[in-house]
Structure formats: C-alpha cells, structure tokens
Amino acid sequence: MSSDLLLRTESVTKSFGGTPVLSGISLELHTGEILGLVGENGAGKSTFVKCLLGLHKPDSGSITFLGRDLLRTGPDGIAGIPQEFNLVNDLTVAENIFLGREPRRFGLLLNRELMRSESRRLLRKLDVEMDPDRMIDSLSVAEKQMVEIAKALSVNCRLLIMDEPTTVLNQNESAILFRIMKELKEAGTSIIFISHRLEEIRTICDRVAVLRDGVLVSCDPAASLDAMEIARRMVGRELKQMFPPTVPPSGEALLTVENLSSGKEVRNVSFELKPGITGLAGLAGAGRTELAETICALRRRSSGTVKLAGETLHLRKPSDAPAHGIVYLSEDRQGSGILTEFPLDKNTTLSSLRRYCHAGFIDRRAERACAESYVEKFRIKTASVETELKYLSGGNQQKVALAKCLDNHPRVFLFDEPTRGVDIGARSDIYHFISELAASGVACLLISSDLEEVIGMCSRVMVMRAGELAGTLENEHVTEEEIMYLATGVK
Amino acid sequence: MWRRLTALLKSTGGPWAALVVLLLICCISNEHFRSVQNLINITRQVSYSGLIALGMTFVIAGGGIDLSVGSLLAFSGVISILGMNAVPGSETLAVAVAAVIAVALGAACGAANGALVALGKVPPFIATLGTLVIFRSLALYFGNSGLVSSENNVYREFGGAVIGGIPLPVWILLILTVLFSVILKQTRLGRHICAVGSNERVARYAAIRTGLVKFYTYLIAGTTAGISALLFGGRLNSVSSTSAGQSYELDAIAAVIIGGSSMNGGKASIWGTLAGILILGNVSNVLDMWGISVTLQGTVKGLVIIIAVMMQRKTLK
C-alpha cells in the first residue's frame, strides 16, 4: 500500500432540517487503499458518500482530494457505483459507458467504432468478456455492475465508491468482484466499499471505518477486527443473539399448494405450510419470488390450486389473498413494497385501510394510533408517523413494509428477502419478529438468498431450481452444502 | 430571496398566496377590476372549465390524464339540448330531462375513458386523445356542425340563475370543491387514488384494485364535464358544436398544475385546483382591462403556467 494521501476530510458536518446526520467526520484515505465503510442504516454512510460525490454540500468542514479543495473543484476523479444502477436500459453497453461523453468524428457524428473498441478494452481490463453491443436490459445484475465499473474506469477515476455492491450478487459473482477490486487496488485506484456483510468487509478491506449516528466511531486496520467486534461498534451495544430459536413447522397444514404453475417460471409446485417457519432457498431466477407471487394472484396462474386450511381458494386478483389472510412481503421494497412519497402512517394502513373506515371515511385518529403502535413495536426510527418514508433508512422502511403486511392480520406470511439491504440491528429485530409471529401460529415462508439466514432461521427448507421444487431438507440436513446441491442440481 | 419566497408560498398554501398577490396587483392597477360585479363575472367565466378541472384533479392524482373533457362538454351539451327540445309540454320537465342526459352522458363517456385505460391498458394520453376526436366528431355530427339552441325559458333562467348574489355555476363549483376535497383527503377512494398515482405497482401489491380506482377517476372527470355542459348550455341557451369546450382540457390541466398537484400523480389538492382556475381567470380578465390584445393573452397564460411549475420545482428540491 502506498502512503500517498489521496483524500482527507476534516470535520465534515451535515444536517437535514435540523437533524444532524454527520457530525465532524475526519478521515484519510491513501492511494491504492480499500476502505470499508460500515454502519447501521441511517448512520450517515450514504450522506457521507454523497458529500464526496458532490451530491450534498457539507454544512461545514473541508474535503481535500488530490491536494485540491473538493468542494470548490468538484468531484473529478471520484466515481460512485450506486445500489440502483445508473444505466439506460435501452442503450448498448458501449453507449452506456460513454453516455454523455461520446467520442465523435468531425465533432458531430458518433464514433461508434472507437466506443466499441474502448469498451472492449475496458471490459477486458476487468477480465470480462462482454459484447459491447449488447443491450443493458439483457444483462444480469452482476454484468450491469461490471458495466458500471467500466464506466467509472473510462473517466480515469482515482477513487471508486461502491455502495453495497455485493447485495445483489451471488457468491461466485462476489468472488469475481473482489478479484477485480484487488486488481484495481494494485493499479493504484482507491476504493470505498460499503457493505452490511461484515465477513467480506474484513477480508477485502485494508481499514474499516465505523459510523454510528453520524459519528465516526473508529477507523482501524481490518486485520485487527473480527466481525463481532465490528458489529458491536456499529450498534454501540452488545448484540443479542442474531437468530432467535427456530420455530419448526408443526400442526395442521394451513396453506396447501397443489401443482401450481405459472408459465415457465413456476412449474408444477406442490407443498404444504404449517404454522412455524419454512425456508425457501434457491439461486437467483429459480422462481421463488414468482412462486410467492403466483400464490397471491400477483402473477397469472396457469394451473394448480391453493388451499387454506383445507378449503380451496379462488384467488383471482391481488386483493383476494390478503382478504383470506395470505400476505406477501415483496423483495423489491422501493418498487412494490412501500410508497416513498407517502407518510409512514398512510403506508402502514395501505392494504388494510378498510378497517379504519366508517362508510368510506377514514378515521385518521385510529389510523395514526395504529401507525404509532407499530413504530413502538418495531422500534422504527422516525421523526413522526407523518414523516414521508423517503426520509427513513432502508431498515426502517422495511419495518414499515412489514407493518403494512402484518396489519392484515395474516395467517400465512410470505417473506421475500426480508433483510435485504437491512443493517444488523434492524435485521436482528426482523428475525425475532418473524420468530414471534411463527410461534403465535402463523405459517411463515422465508424466501432468502442468504444461506446463513435460511440455516439460522429454519429447520425445514424447500429448495427450488429452474421453476421446480428440487427438494425439501429437514433438521440436520439443513446445511449449506445440501442446499447448494439441490439448488444447482449437482450431486 | 427567490428560494425563501417560494418556500413561504409553498408552506402557506402557495397557489392561494399567489392568487392573493395577483388580486392585489390587479385591484391596485385597475379600478374597473375592483368592482364586485367584475370579480363575480370572472368567477362565473372560469366556473365551466373550473368544474372540469376539479374532476381532472382526480385523474391526475391517479397518475393519468384526460384530454377528452373539452370535447365531451360539447358532445354532452349538444345531446342534452337536442333531448330537451324533443320533450313536449312542460319546460321544467324538459330541463330535468336535459340535466339527466348531460350528466349521464358525461359519466358514461368518462366510464368509457376509464374502461379504455383500466381494462384496455391503453396509455391515458392516447386513449383520451382518441376520445377527444371522437366526442368532438359526434358533437359536430349531431349538432350539424353548428349551433344547437333551445327556446326553453326555464333553461335560460336556470343557466343564468343568481342565488344570494352568486351565480349558480359558481355555487356548484364551490359545493363540488368542498365535496371533492373531502373525497380526495378523507375517504378510502381518495387515498387509493393517490396511492395508485404515487406508485401503481406498490398499490397493486398492497391489494388495491388499481384498475377500478383509475376507472373511477375518469368517471368523475366525465361527470364533471357533463355537469359543466348543462350549466354552460343554460348560459346562452345554446351550445356550439364547433367551439364549445375548446381547449378546456388544457385550462383544466393548467389549473391542476398551478394548484400544486404533481403532474406525475400521488399528490393533489382540490382547493389548490380552485386557486389555479381563479388565477387563470384573473389573469385573462386583467389583461383585458389593461387592453392587451386577446391574441397575446395566450402568451401570458402560457408563461403563468410555466412559472408556476418552475416555482414548484424549486420548492421540491
């Protein structure tokens, strides 16, 4: 690691509407260093990063980058790769890489040849074989990420900021990303790496900066920390056991699915859900989300039946499932879970509004009281129940999404990636909530790509592969190996 | 300075503050403007497109747009007067028949728009652009491309009625403003409309019947066009199949936007729309008073719309 100073922030402070979000962050970053940035949602990570990218202006403090005052000169040489990619779906890979800076012939015509060859060169530098003429929407998430990195490299970036890049990747893809990060580091590019997965932070990063409530708690070499210690610093208290005791499914089957199919995504799936927690694992694209959506009539069912407590249900439209006590927590929180422009209270009652109405008129007091009870129950951090959700952190938004589903008083609860993009503290809260709910007699289905989570929470795990149920594992058979065997079909 | 001013306007009910400022400027600059009669006249003039704007607020709140309402006013107006003329005997009965026809036809055409959007999945802009042309063509066909008029004295009295010094259309505009505001803010339907407009996918996943909700917004808009047609026809005892309601849809959309509703849906205010329509009316009127050519008034109106939206953008940041 070279000791050249690349970036120095001094007492960077920022508040929104009187609420301090960053209080005096002083940090140094050297050339060719990978700095891990961790903290619970709402700790100020994104705000800090946005200050570096010039998207927010700090209230006070200074940021020096390559010896220049960043606040005056602008963030040239710093590139950010956001969680939600900034790629135009209808353009090709090459067009996206050079978007806004297209090379031209005679100052007028696009030089496509140059765009293509440059893109190919950049991608090859990343060891990625990808046709620069492919459309973005034909790419996998991992491939899109590579395009983002190539785009950053094309502007000769010295500092790359990656916001939870691995959340959307599987283990293989993550390994490739880490290799590329190491190569970039060798080439002298510095990286700020944000992640909730503490193990990977520890292995890939040189130093780890921990933020808590807008304060830089520590910034120490990664080698001197273990994951538990990082977590402790993030939360600021001793963590209770991450996973509550498992609640094995028992008793009469509540939900019975028979020969359910939906196009090519879900094929002839049959299973039973009993009160308790059942896991549903599988690789991305195995049809887990599609299965849940088909059950809830969010997706057209081509055949099969769904029974609740032995009674066949005729679920035709999305409003039918909650009416029978079957709720689905979507994996896509922003896209289909919550209304970010709506206040918290109106989100919690979104699907159960009927209960707060007299002759069509909303009882605002009852509605607010309901929201307040959930804020307390789930320890949701918010200024008030009338705060719009866009001002809440991911973990708190997720708790609101849970409250929205729960307010239907479900008998069957389908959780789809309930802790994706959620910090450790909130994650533990959510696990305990699922466990309590299961113990109270609700049949819970936990769909998750996080094997640690599936194994920690479930004593019965179904595994899907290519739209079909590949098998079901119970008790001591619920291991990473056996799940992967079923998920990949290799044995 | 600019930012602080716009922030203040936003927090104090921006459109209404703007309206007050506008009224002050108008009153100071022109003595004719100050008369109560003039203010009442302005309000009556805008009440026809104003009623439509109230309905349009629901459509826009739900994430849609309805371009057909102006033509629908002409179509409903023409058919209701033809219907009225066909009723023999009692003039009062004839007006009652016309009222039923106008409102029912407006509602039915609104329902057709709603069905196209909700069931046919036709993008609202395209669906209502199509019906805009259809309704106008039907109005021209049944109205023989000219004026359709009645000799009904009750209808004339009805259209020109003044109650407590305030014209009937203005009363109806005010009553519907109160009623619609309650529907939008305090009922399940209103909440669902805003949810669908804010993010239709989220609404669908939250078990809201999004198609039905959108259908209702067009139904409401069509109904207001029908009501407006009835009052509009009574004013002159006639409806021109060529020019009645011409570009009312644009005035209505402009009023909704000036009133602070989001063009993308999800956020809407009926009272804001009322302020928006009054702002548009006052601007036209004072330009008349100042002797500015009618042909140039469109330029000013256009600027008002653009500035209003720019101010909203600023405060949103």
- From residue B226, how far is each of A446, B51, B86, B212 by CA, in Å? 52, 10, 19, 21
| Average pLDDT of span A33-52 | 86
Residue B260 lies in a domain: yes
B317 band by pLDDT with thresholds 50, 70 and 90:
very low
Q: Which of A318, A341, A364 sits opposite B267 (nearest CB)?
A: A341
Q: Considering Cα of A435, then A437, then A440, then A446, what sign does the dihedral take?
A: negative
Q: Round to the nearest angstrom and report the end-to-end CA distance of chain A.
A: 43
Q: Check the CA dihedral B185-B188-B189-B192 and report its sign.
A: positive
Burial (CB count <10 Å: 0-12, 13-18, 19+), residue A342: buried
Q: Provide the token pair at A171.
A: 């283990």
Stretch (H or E) spanning A426: helix A424-439
pLDDT at A164: 83
Alpha helices in A38-86 (DSSP H): 45-52, 70-73
Tokens 């592969």 correspond to: A465
Q: Do domains A5-235 and A255-488 have the same CATH topology?
A: yes
Q: Compute CA A321 distance to the chain's CA centroid, rounded to the nearest angstrom.
A: 26
What pLDDT is stored for residue B172 in this prediction?
95
Residue B154, domain CATH? 1.10.3470
B204: nearest CA partner in chain A: A318
Whether B106 is covered by a domain: the verdict is: yes
Sort out which chain B residues have CB atoms less than 8 A from A318's CB and list them.
Answer: 204-205, 207, 209
Closest in B189, B205, B208 to A330, CB measured: B205
How many interchain CB pairs under 8 A, A with B? Answer: 70
For residues A3 and A363, the model is more confident at A363
Q: Do A342 and B198 touch (CB under 8 A)?
A: yes
Q: Does B19 reside within a domain?
A: no
Inside any domain, residue B33:
no
- For chain A, the structural domain boundaries read 5-235, 255-488
Q: Which residues of B touch A351 (CB under 8 A)?
A: 206-208
What are B68-105's pLDDT values in tens digits? Answer: 999 999 999 999 999 999 988 888 999 999 999 999 99
Mean pLDDT over B249-271 rounds to: 90
What is the tens place of the pLDDT at every residue in A434-481?
A: 999 999 999 999 999 888 888 889 989 999 988 889 889 988 888 888
pLDDT at B7 over 70: no
B187 part of contact set with chain A, CB < 8 Å: yes
Q: State the average pLDDT for chain B.
A: 89
Q: How many domains does chain B have?
A: 1
For A322, the closest of B188, B192, B207 (CB atoms) is B207
pLDDT in tens, A219-261: 989 888 888 788 888 877 665 567 888 888 888 889 999 999 9
Give the model's pLDDT for residue A166: 81
The domain in which residue B205 lies consists of 42-316
What is the model's pLDDT at position A1? 41
B213 pLDDT above the threshold of 90: yes
With a pLDDT cut of 90, the percent of chain A lying above it is 28
* φ and ψ at residue A404, rounded to 5 degrees: -60, -45
Higher pLDDT, A360 or B60: B60
**Does residue B2 sit within a domain?**
no
Higher pLDDT, A421 or A482: A482
Nearest CB among A335, A351, A364 relative to B206 is that of A351
Q: At residue B144, what is the residue type?
A: N
pLDDT reported for residue B313: 66
Which tokens sit at B81? 């007067």
Residue A331's closest chain B neighbor by CA?
A: B205
The answer to whether A442 and A415 are in contact (CB under 8 A) is no
Whether B9 maps to a domain, the answer reads no
- Residue B61 to chain A, least CA–CA distance (Å): 13
Per-residue pLDDT at B163: 92
**End-to-end Cα spacing for chain B:** 15
Chain A residue with minimum CA distance to B188: A360
Instruction: Look at the domain A255-488 and name its fold.
Output: Rossmann fold (3.40.50)
Asked if B194 is an interface residue toward chain A (Cβ–Cβ < 8 A), one would say yes
Strand partners, A274: none
- Of the ranges A345-349, B19-23, B209-213, which one carries the lowest mean pLDDT score? B19-23
Is the pLDDT score of B138 beyond 50? yes
**Residue A100 pLDDT more than 80?**
no
Burial class (CB in 10 A: 0-12, 13-18, 19+), B38: middle
Q: What is the DSSP string of B231-297?
A: HHHHHHTEEETTTTTTTHHHHHHHHHHHTT--TTSS---HHHHHHHHHHHHHHHHHHHHTT--HHHH
Q: What is the pLDDT of residues A127-186, one digit of tens each?
A: 778 888 888 888 877 788 888 888 888 877 889 999 888 877 777 778 888 988 898 899
May I ask the CATH architecture of the domain A5-235?
Answer: 3-Layer(aba) Sandwich (3.40)
The pLDDT mean for chain A works out to 86
Sort out which chain A residues have CB atoms less than 8 A from B209's CB and list them: 317-319
Summarised one tens digit per residue, pLDDT across range A186-211 is 988 899 999 878 888 888 999 999 99
Are the C-beta atoms of B195 and A404 separated by less than 8 Å? no
The predicted pLDDT at position A491 comes to 57
